[in-house]
Chains A and B, each alone.
Chain A
Amino acid sequence: MLLEVRDLRKVFKGGFVAVDGVSFDLPYGGSLAVVGESGSGKTTCARIVTGLEKATSGTVLVDRGAVQMVFQDPYQSLDRRQTVASCLDEVLAHHTDLPKVKRRSRMGELLELVGLDERHAPVLPRALSGGQRQRVAIARALAANPRLLVLDEAVAALDVSIQAQILNLLVDARAATGIAYLFITHDLSVVRHVCEDVVVMSRGRVVESGKVEQVLSEPAHAYTRKLIASVPRPGWVPARGVSRAG
């Protein structure tokens, strides 16, 4: 296994239990979706996996040097004073043996992969739109050639055509390099498209898990059914009282 998570528990100061006995596995080259309620502990789990947060108890087995993460809010994770070019070059210099000129062309490739180009290279994050920042964060994560990429709502801020380009890119990269994804998202059609397995979280716990096709076509848990019913579609009328905050 590339990643083994066992009985993860996170209690924040004040005694709040954010993650309560979470276990899952991700094989080499696998693609696991984590879906679930807002506040159910998805980001906290991801931060523990990448080593940004310490678990209160439980174990995570993974080679942390081979993990990259794209954050839910890229503005927080990009250095505000660093241009796109210097941000990407720094990662390439650190994680690859490419000489300066090769790094330059690799940077061009990476930008193109995420639908950006040379014009964005000299720019600071604040001069980019939300989706453009998100794509810089994805390019930066890919620059490090990780074995495991943790994506926390990484495609939610993209319009559907650019999202399609990034999803195709993720599918291709996995086929070509065997990179694995831990994919946190609320978009079930994205889950269907990119992931093989899924865990459904609610209030700090895993309430259901299995193959994507199985879980989404025959949801066993009431929360999973509610999740599926909340997906916007033609004729859908949003109603109150369908969810509880976590």
Chain B
Amino acid sequence: MTLLGLDGLRVEIGGRVILREVTLAVAAGEAVGLVGESGSGKSMTVRSVLRMLPAGSRVTGSITVGGLDVNRLDSAGLRRMRSRDVAMVFQDPRATVNPVRTIGDFLTEVLRDQGISRVEANRRAVALLTDVGVDHVERRMHQRPHELSGGLLQRVVIAAALATEPKLILADEPTTALDVTTQEEVVAILHEQRRKRGTALLFISHDLELAAAVCDRIAVMYAGEIVEILPANRLHEDARHPYTQALLRSRPGAVNPGSRLETIPGTPQSAADAPAGCVFADRCPHAADHCREVRPVLSPVDSGLAACHLLPNGVPHVA
């Protein structure tokens, strides 16, 4: 059953196209990884789910959560969705947590909003912090954000997201600020919550191996569009879109230390300046004339979907 449905989502800010056309379904309990170029619209995609786009944004296409049309929710409905059904963990924890309030206040506020008593809220906040591996919990409850390292503060934000037992967690690079051992702990916690409560997850990451380990499916974004979707455990074998293949080849682990890393020729492109046809055509080593003119649609290839005119036969299969 579809929990989150994005259908032909298009976002413009001040007349500039940010998302061209994003179509994606996340089933109840499913984890989908969103990877892709910096600036391609991953954060805007998840922000649009909570209607947290910058002022002056124009949204077309549909966004549904549990069958409800997000763009038609009244303010009470929106508040209910944000505080109960959908939780968000942002890229930068310092932008999320009020700098002048204590960690304890930040956590208990979420719970008290749901009518839980102060004592009980406090008890649960302490338990949640312990759960996500925060040390010296009693001391942390009285500290303010600037007294915590980036990694510790992100755990606090994750604890707050879990507090409301949401149906869907939107996680925007939740572990970018964390060391790998803490990252392992945090993604294991997210995994545990999903198993226990059937929570669905939309997980943005730049680490392709991490996304593949955490998620069921991977969606790859470029210049405001999803160009490929495939099962996470087939990422290396079945990636067929030229952009996905280029991404996989540019990981520092893909070459020997000391040799040059592979990059994608040309400059990163925003949705606003992308060609009318395929968004990747200007930088694609395989592009033909009609790639620039006619927009390819996501179509089945191997185990997933890819938007490329040259498939299923035209792009060499590189594992």
Contact = CB atoms under 8 A, between A and B. Distances in A.
Contacts of B139: 14
Contacts of B268: 115-116, 162
A164 B185 CA distance: 27
A233 B264 contact: no
Interface string A131-168: 11001000000000000000001001111111111011
A240 interface: yes
Contact of A160 (B147, B192, B251): B251
Interface residues of A, number: 67
Contact of B183 (A157, A161, A164, A230): A230
B92 A245 contact: no
Nearest to B209: A232
B92 A73 contact: yes
Nearest to B211: A232
A237 interface: yes
A132 B39 contact: yes
A244 B37 contact: no
A227 B188 CA distance: 15
A242 interface: yes
A234 interface: yes
Contact of A245 (B38, B182, B192, B250): B182
Contacts of B191: 238
A186 B178 contact: yes
B152 A39 contact: yes
Contacts of B179: 35-38, 40, 186, 227, 243
B38 A157 contact: yes
Interface stretch (B3-11, B100-108, B113-121, B253-261): B253-261
B262 A164 contact: yes
A62 B243 CA distance: 43
A216 B43 CA distance: 34
A190 interface: yes
Contacts of B225: none
A12 B143 CA distance: 12
A118 B247 CA distance: 25
Interface string A43-56: 10000000000000
Contacts of A73: 92, 94-95, 150, 177
22 contacts: A40-B179, A43-B150, A73-B92, A115-B268, A119-B273, A132-B38, A158-B206, A159-B206, A160-B247, A162-B268, A163-B206, A164-B261, A189-B251, A192-B257, A213-B257, A226-B181, A231-B180, A232-B180, A232-B207, A243-B179, A245-B133, A246-B149
Interface of B: 13, 35-40, 43, 54, 91-92, 94-95, 133-135, 139, 147-152, 155, 173, 176-185, 187-189, 191-192, 206-210, 212-214, 236, 246-247, 250-253, 257-258, 260-264, 267-268, 270, 273
